[in-house]
Structure 1
Amino acid sequence: MIAGLAHVGLRVVDLGEASARWCAQFGLHEVGRADGRATLACDDEPCAIELLDAAGQEPGHDHTTWRLRTGVSLEDAAARLAGAGVETRREKDAIWCEDPEGQRLKLIPARTGLTGWTSFARAPSGAPLGHPRRLGHVNFLTGRLEEQIAFHTEVLGFALTDHLGEDAAWLRVGGLHHELAFVRPRAGQEPRLHHLALDVVDVGQMRMTMDHLGRHGRWLSWGPTRHGVGGNIASYVRITEEPLHVELYCDMELIEADHRPRVWPDDRFSSNTWGPLPPRSYFRFDAAAIASERDSLETRGVPLPDPSEPARP
């Protein structure tokens, strides 16, 4: 039923500041603004990240939007969801629903209006030089892994690609290793969006992007890594304003038509064939974890404090 990932919606405190920041730091460009929303794109797609005025709510993840396959109408999608007992809300050009943990999902019609040519052969967009190729996937922390797998495979039509032990799963809708992943959170953590991922084509562009982000005061929460699961080279950037990570990645595994889900051992090699596992701060979004990560305290032998402890100044 699902063709691909359309965009991620993020609530922001200051719409103008957030749009300028995401564009300046990650090479996105604003393609529209109205009704308290700013639409940002990587290339010539309608939207990759939608910024919404938080209007007093906490900044952060608001929703994830998925495109339906060609030939699947909104009515078809609504009927399938209703048949599975999922409540929906219809808008003119979208259907809203929630996953088993209340994360908001938006389903939109198949994309039209593009030629069949690759992006390199189409007319130029307003994207700056060095822009990301596309929004590639999203990863969530979940306390209900089996239910999330069942919902996304049985109701939305994703295919299961891989497990990491009993604590993580990767799902796909096409030939790439994944568009969606779920990881069990550590004790005391709430289900949430952990990261969105931008395809940066190759390690050369990744280096340039990280150099650029470093000059903007950003730091890596983990990476560069070569994931065993998925095969992608990845670097994770901490975003403090809309609490999440941005993964810069390239070289993801391509999945063959007769692929069978694998169960990877939950070890260092499955997560990073090049080196260490992530610091514990990588899985947290509290002030103490961010302060520890900012100053590399874990690697300097300073234990990560309990979430209830105050952050160091």
Structure 2
Amino acid sequence: MIRINRLAFAAFASPDTEQLADYYAQVIGLSETSRARGTIHLASPLGETCVLLSHGDATACQALAFETSAETPLCDLAKWLDGHGIASELRSDPHPDIAAVLAFRDYNGTGIELFNAAPPPALVPPTPAISPLKLGHAAFYVNEIHEAVNFYRNILGFRIADWMEDFFVFLRCGPDHHTCNFIAAPRQGMHHMAFELRDWAHLQTACDWLSRSGYKLTWGPGRHGIGHNIFTYHRNPQGQIVELFTELDTMSNEELGYYDPRPWHRDRPQRPKVWSAKDAVNLWGDGPPPGHRD
């Protein structure tokens, strides 16, 4: 089994990369660190690359990149994948400051890139924009949700964080409650991506910045039951749903099997479970508006 340390970045195709690059810089507060081989690299204020943009016919998430344990060389991971019938490709110098990646596709057809060592954080200038801590997670539609779960658990070593009934699953690869989510649906592709903010005050100022920048919230603020994160959602200029969140549950001790206690938990201790949709979506108010799951 592959050991994943963290989600590093997501790669997107777009027919107008300049429009998206401007949004991520001026609204979200990422900084452009390089343009290499037709790809725009954008980093968080902490200096970690979290979004890649390249030209494509339609706006879509093409790949997720994960940092893996440096104890296992990528060539060994390639052999392990081959033994499980998964074709992969070792690529040299695919991105600035990353010497090699192992590339393959997940059950849903999304590209996966694994690399051993995190590049040193880049120096990025301060920005008055939202300035998230990191790319937190991404959610996808899948035709066969249990096939997706089996792939991420058995191949990539993810753990089940929670279920919403039988149609929405949350998976984690580290202490954060979830890194990848999957929604059973007759379609495929990304549902939303999410950036983590420092705290509730940061989320409040982010809402003001979105409004001044011409972006209206489509849902929130609220507090999800699953993960207990305070959330807002809006759409970027090419229609993708973007979540800004804070106070996400964490499990710092896997052996205990429950999430680190928080005052707002209603289960004590808060263990992974199957939630009803009514309790899962928003402890503060209404569920998602029409079109949120489209």
TM-superposition CA deviations, 1:269-307 (whole Å, max 9, x none): 2111111110230011xxxxxxxxxxxxxxxxxxxxxxx
Query: RMSD of aligned C-alpha atoms?
Result: 1.9
Residue matched to 2:65: 65
| One-letter code aligned to 1:42 | S
- Residue 66 of structure 1, CA deviation: 1.2
Residue matched to 1:39: 41
Quick one: distance in 2 between partners of 1:168 and 1:60? 21
| Counterpart among 28, 31, 36 of residue 26 in structure 1 | 28
Q: Provide the secondary structure at the position in 1 that maps to 2:132.
A: coil
- Residue 138 of structure 1, CA deviation: 0.9
Unaligned runs of 5+ in 1: 115-122, 285-313
| One-letter code aligned to 1:38 | I
Residue matched to 1:96: 103
- Residue 237 of structure 1, CA deviation: 1.1
- Whether contact under 8 Å (1:44, 1:127) holds in the other structure is no
| Count of aligned residue pairs for this structure pair | 270
| One-letter code aligned to 2:29 | G
Residue matched to 1:215: 212
1:156-235 correspondence runs (5 A)? 156-185=156-185, 189-235=186-232
Residue matched to 1:252: 248
Quick one: distance in 1 between partners of 2:133 and 2:48? 13
Quick one: distance in 1 between partners of 2:184 and 2:290? 14
- Residue 43 of structure 1, CA deviation: 2.2
- Whether contact under 8 Å (1:74, 1:94) holds in the other structure is yes
Q: Provide the secondary structure at the position in 2 that maps to 1:49.
A: strand
Quick one: distance in 1 between partners of 2:181 and 2:233? 15
Quick one: distance in 1 between partners of 2:59 and 2:120? 33
- Whether contact under 8 Å (1:29, 1:40) holds in the other structure is yes
- Residue 124 of structure 1, CA deviation: 6.5
Q: Provide the secondary structure at the position in 2 that maps to 1:281.
A: coil
- Whether contact under 8 Å (2:29, 2:45) holds in the other structure is no
- Whether contact under 8 Å (2:20, 2:237) holds in the other structure is no
- Residue 209 of structure 1, CA deviation: 1.2
- Residue 152 of structure 1, CA deviation: 0.6
| Counterpart among 250, 262, 276 of residue 266 in structure 1 | 276
Residue 278 of structure 1 pairs with residue 288 of structure 2: yes
TM normalised by structure 2 equals: 0.86
| One-letter code aligned to 2:221 | P
TM-superposition CA deviations, 1:68-107 (whole Å, max 9, x none): 1231221122122112111112211111111112111111
Quick one: distance in 2 between partners of 1:88 and 1:173? 21
- Residue 240 of structure 1, CA deviation: 4.3
1:132-143 correspondence runs (5 A)? 132-143=132-143
Residue matched to 1:126: 125
- Whether contact under 8 Å (2:34, 2:41) holds in the other structure is yes
- Whether contact under 8 Å (1:38, 1:52) holds in the other structure is yes
Quick one: distance in 2 between partners of 1:180 and 1:79? 25
| One-letter code aligned to 2:160 | L
| Counterpart among 42, 46, 51 of residue 49 in structure 1 | 51
Q: Provide the secondary structure at the position in 1 that maps to 2:113.
A: strand
TM normalised by structure 1 equals: 0.81
More strand by share: 2
